[in-house]
Each structure stands twice: as C-alpha cells, then as structure tokens.
Amino acid sequence: MRKYSRRFQQIVQKISKNKLYSPLEAIELLQVLSNVKFIETMEAHIVLGLDPKYADQQLRSTVILPKGTGKIVKVAVVTKGEKVSEAISAKADIVGSEDLIDQIFQGRLDFDKLIATPDVMPLIARLGRVLGPRGLMPSPKAGTVTNDLKRSVAEFKAGKLEYRVDRSGVLHVALGKLNFLSNDLYLNLISLQESVDKNRPSGSKGKYWKSVYLSSTMGPSIPIDINLLKNNGINY
C-alpha cells in the first residue's frame, strides 16, 4: 500500500470527497493548498473513451496555450542550406545539420523540442530509438516537421504543446505554473479542452470524455465537473 507524507495527507483532508469541482474552483484550491518550496506546475489528467491500440482511436495533436506554460523551452532545429540561417534568425537555441544529427545519436539531448525541415527527415530516421521514447521525434502532426521555421520556433517558445493519449487512453498535460493568475490557468485549460474536442479521432464512439482531474506537481488530484468546462456544443 502506498504511503503518503504527513504534508500530503493534511492537504487531502481539505478536498471534499465525492464532489466534482468547477474548473476555476479546483484551480484556486490547488493554489491555496500548495505549500512546497518551489513553484508547482498545474497538470490536467483527462481520461478519454479511446483505445489507442486502434489506429482510428489515437489522439496526437498540439495546442497553443494563450498564457504560456511558464517554462523556458529550448528548441533545436535540424535543417540544411539556407534554412540554417532562417533557424538562427528565428532564435532557435540549437541549429545544425548532419553534425547535430550525429551529436544527438551520440547522446546529446539538451533541448525540449526538436524541429526539422522535410528534406532532412530521411537522415533523422536513424534517431528513432533515441528520440522516440522521449517524445522528441519530429512529426508533421505535431508541427515539428515544417519549412516555416520562424513560425514553428516562435509558437513552441510561446507555449505551444504537443499532447497524446498514453496506452490507456489518458492525457497528461502541464498547463502552467501555480503562480499564474487563476483565470490564466483556466484559459489554458479551456484551450486544451477545445483542442481535444476539435481533434476527436474518427474511431471514437460513445462517451468521449470520461473524467478530468487537476493536480499540482506535489499535490493531490481534484476531480472536475466536465459539464462545467466551456460548452462548445459537444455532447459529453
């Protein structure tokens, strides 16, 4: 049986059992309950009615959080030719061609996002075993395979996130720091909700949204009333 610290147990007691909180109420409660020595991140954990083992029930997309993530994102770009100078002018943190591919193959992973132009993807294929398990492999679906380097680098640095369901059909997404204004965190949550609805897989049948929980890095999870999320016409 898992053991929790006294601090954690005291926090849990302040959360009402068998209650579904409104999104904003849950956010504000997480902010009040946070009592660690660093600024925690707020996370959303969304259980969806998907079985990712089927190709038409996989969910992988991106969302631009309007208030950012509060995290400094280090972006690497693999490209060649004239696109190298474009990537540098776009303020990518790391830029290279075959040399950078070799460095990554040898273990260099000091970046949060890897963007590549289509012409170098055949060269990057050999990095699958290195990048794949870390979720860093460039993909057109994720917006990380593109010729528009200026836009892509700017978006990821501003708060664009890639998300995907895990093997059990659950999304885990960091939505910002707890020292954000509560309304700003709420706006980020709504943007995620709208994106998840917009990108509903074609094979999804029945109830799409099953449950939503908000939590902080070191805190407990708080159940959310799905119907109180912004209603955009989707029947939950």
Average pLDDT, the chain: 89
Confidence of residue 233 (pLDDT cuts 50, 70, 90): very low
Residues 168, 64 share a domain = yes
| 4 within some domain | no
- Where is the domain boundary, 127, 157, 187? 157
pLDDT tens for 107-124 read 999 999 999 999 999 999
Residue 129: inside a domain: yes
Percent of the chain at pLDDT > 90 equals 69
Q: 79 and 149 share a domain? A: yes
> What is the spatial distance between Cα 15 and Cα 209, in angstroms, rounded to a whole number?
23
Paired tokens of 25: 């109420």
Same domain, 199 and 84: no
For residues 219 and 33, is the Cβ–Cβ distance under 8 A? yes
Buried b (16+ CB within 10 A) or exposed e, 4-23: eeeeeeebeeebeeeebbeb
- 17 in Cβ contact with 193 (< 8 Å): no
Q: What is the mean pLDDT of residues 35-51?
A: 93
Contacts of 159 (CB under 8 A, 6+ apart): 64, 65, 66, 67, 68, 69
Please check whether residue 1 lies inside any domain of the structure: no
Domain that holds residue 37: 18-69+160-228
173 and 100 in a common domain: no
In one-letter notation, the amino acid at residue 107 is G
Percent of the chain whose predicted confidence (pLDDT) is above 70? 91
Domain shared by 168 and 144, yes or no:
no
**Domain assignment present for 207:** yes
pLDDT above 70 (res 22) = yes
- Between 10 and 66, where is the model more confident? 66
- Residue-wise pLDDT tens digits, 88-109: 999 999 999 999 999 999 999 9
Q: Name the pTM for this structure.
A: 0.80
- Note whether 122 and 170 are same-domain residues: no
> Does 153 share its domain with 80?
yes
Q: Could you tell me the CATH number of the domain that includes residue 139?
A: 3.40.50.790
> Which of 6-10, 68-72, 93-97, 134-138 holds the top average pLDDT?
93-97
What is the spatial distance between Cα 82 and Cα 220, in angstroms, rounded to a whole number? 49
In a domain, 235, yes or no: no
Confidence at residue 5, expressed as pLDDT on a 0 to 100 scale: 66
In this predicted structure, the answer to whether residue 179 has a pLDDT above a threshold of 90 is yes
Domains in the chain: how many in total? 2
CATH number at 170 reads 3.30.190.20
E strands in the chain: 41-48, 60-64, 75-78, 94-96, 113-116, 160-164, 170-177, 209-216, 221-224
Q: Looking at the predicted structure, is the pLDDT value of residue 18 above 90?
A: no
The per-residue pLDDT for 8 is 63
Cα dist. 195→9, 126, 143, 230 in Å?
A: 34, 31, 14, 12
Strand partners, 204: none
Task: Based on the fold, state whether residues 142 and 193 are members of the same structural domain.
Answer: no
In a shared domain, residues 186 and 79: no
Is there a single domain that holds both residue 79 and residue 153? Answer: yes
Nearest Cα to 93, choosing from 107, 72, 63?
72
Distance (Å, whole) CA 26 – CA 199: 25
Same domain, 172 and 138: no
**142 and 165 fall within a common domain:** no
Structure tokens, 44: 């959303």
Q: How far apart are CA 173 and CA 222, in angstroms?
A: 15
Last residue of a domain, one of 157, 176, 197: 157
Whether 233 is in a domain gets the answer no
With respect to residue 208, please indicate whether it lies within any of the assigned structural domains: yes
Q: What is the pLDDT of residues 215-226, one digit of tens each?
A: 998 888 899 999
User: Looking at the domain assignment, is residue 187 inside a domain?
Assistant: yes
Domain boundary among 113, 142, 157: 157
